[in-house]
Amino acid sequence: MTLTFHWFLPTSGDSRDVVGGGHGVPPGVAGGARPATIAYLGQIARSAEQLGFVGALTPTGAWCEDAWLTTAMLTEVTERLKFLVAFRPGLVSPTLAAQMASTFQRLSRGRLLLNVVTGGESHEQRGYGDFLDKDARYARTDEFLQIVRALWRGETVTFHGAHLRVEQARLSRVPEPVPTVYFGGSSAAAGPVAARHSDVYLTWGEPPEQVAGKLSWIGELAATAGRSLRFGIRLHVITRDTAEAAWAQARRLLDGITDSDIRTVQAGLALSESEGQRRMLALHGGSRDRLEVSPNLWAGIGLVRGGAGTALVGSHAEVADRIVEYHDLGITEFVLSGYPHLEEAYWFGEGVLPILRRRGLWRHPDDSAPLAASGEIPFAGPVAGTETPPAAGTSVPTVPAGRVG
């Protein structure tokens, strides 16, 4: 089976440094050094499309632009790229969500993927008018996806649940194709819902032995439900022509971050209700001293960013090797990102993907796309309309912002 790669759209802004914050941490001033304009996000989306990424994850939260509206606009400046839209069940009715997905599929010619985010922080959910606790939110997600799936099958649905109720609900036009549903969650409440309703189970980037345990758990739950799932992983990536250059870039990302910044963010993240976030924090313990938690797996981003907090760091060949190791566990989809997202898409797309292609593990969605030659990455220089690259030994000030994804 060939591997599938997705990139990430930084809809709260982008920077040459980590844009931090997240679960349990006040979002502060979003925006980074590169505002999330359609012009800039369009550059990233078109580059990801050209490089061979299948889709682009677009996050959800009060701190970023709305994922549905942003991606709907980006369909007009791309041709093939799919959009992995993160959304929260329960904030809109299941019938409306099913209709929105159907319309998106029809007007984009089948370019919608859905990332179900139940919501790990009660305080943020309350801001949206949702006052259920975490376990009840997962129970509602279960009901929500039952209704949505039935509507997508063309059924007329009457459903009276503990949290949701619809009568004689139906769609005039069902989506074609039905959107692939991605689902992440590490808690006991999340597992059964993922097993019953998701097509792709997503995990954040933990060391391989921990990922293996999680996939075994979800796989057994899915088998009990009479289903089989695909598995994906969410990671940052820092890849260069040499390992030394990659690790130098990883260290540079933390140059402008003080110990006080780290303590503040870690104190907030420690209050998170998310089991996945707890597992991320356990990898580094809030310390700069033990950040390579597995070969080429670096937890430095998690010092100041909630959600996905680990990065694959190394030479192109080393990063390719680590991807193969995750693939050997059963991972077939990789959702990647890097700071800044435009340049890092090229480092990965022109450095790592050709190696995986030569190994027979990946092919460009456009079969006629040329195989990039080995050697240095041709992308260089500042992006039109963005900041001038910082001088050697300096860094752009980090702008904390909330984060999901």
Q: What is the pLDDT of residues 74-90, one digit of tens each?
A: 999 999 999 999 999 98
**pTM value > 0.85:** yes
φ/ψ of 166, rounded to 5, equals -135, 155
| Whether the predicted pLDDT of 125 surpasses 80 | yes
> Structural domain boundaries of the chain?
4-358
Mean per-residue pLDDT, 9-17: 94
Max Cα-Cα span within the chain: 64
Taken in order 131, 201, 87, 30, the sign of the CA dihedral is positive
> pLDDT at position 382, please?
39
> pLDDT at position 360, please?
97
| Whether the predicted pLDDT of 385 surpasses 50 | no
Whether 266 and 281 have beta carbons less than 8 Å apart is answered as: yes
Domain 4-358 -> CATH class? alpha beta
Where does the pLDDT of residue 370 fall: very low under 50, low under 70, confident under 90, or very high at 90 and above?
Answer: low
CA distance 140 to 164: 7
Mean pLDDT of the residues in the chain: 89
Pick the more confident residue, 397 or 85.
85
Quote the percentage of the chain above a pLDDT of 90.
77
Highest mean pLDDT among 29-43, 88-102, 112-126: 88-102
For helices 38-51 and 67-74, the axis angle rounded to 10 degrees is 60
CA distance 223 to 228: 6
| Whether the predicted pLDDT of 378 surpasses 80 | no
Whether 120 and 276 have beta carbons less than 8 Å apart is answered as: yes
Q: How far is residue 107 CA from its own chain's centroid?
A: 24
Q: What is the pLDDT of residues 286-303, one digit of tens each?
A: 999 889 999 999 999 999
> pLDDT at position 398, please?
37
Pick the more confident residue, 306 or 342.
342
Where does the pLDDT of residue 383 fall: very low under 50, low under 70, confident under 90, or very high at 90 and above?
Answer: very low
CA distance 227 to 315: 38
CA distance 41 to 29: 19
Where does the pLDDT of residue 23 fall: very low under 50, low under 70, confident under 90, or very high at 90 and above?
Answer: low
CA distance 318 to 242: 9
| Whether the predicted pLDDT of 402 surpasses 50 | no
Pick the more confident residue, 385 or 74.
74
Q: What is the pLDDT of residues 191-244, one digit of tens each?
A: 999 999 999 999 999 999 999 999 999 999 999 999 999 999 999 999 999 999
Pick the more confident residue, 18 or 370.
18
| Whether the predicted pLDDT of 136 surpasses 70 | yes
Where does the pLDDT of residue 392 fall: very low under 50, low under 70, confident under 90, or very high at 90 and above?
Answer: very low
Q: What is the pLDDT of residues 255-276, one digit of tens each?
A: 888 899 899 989 988 888 889 8
DSSP state of 76: G
Where does the pLDDT of residue 405 fall: very low under 50, low under 70, confident under 90, or very high at 90 and above?
Answer: low
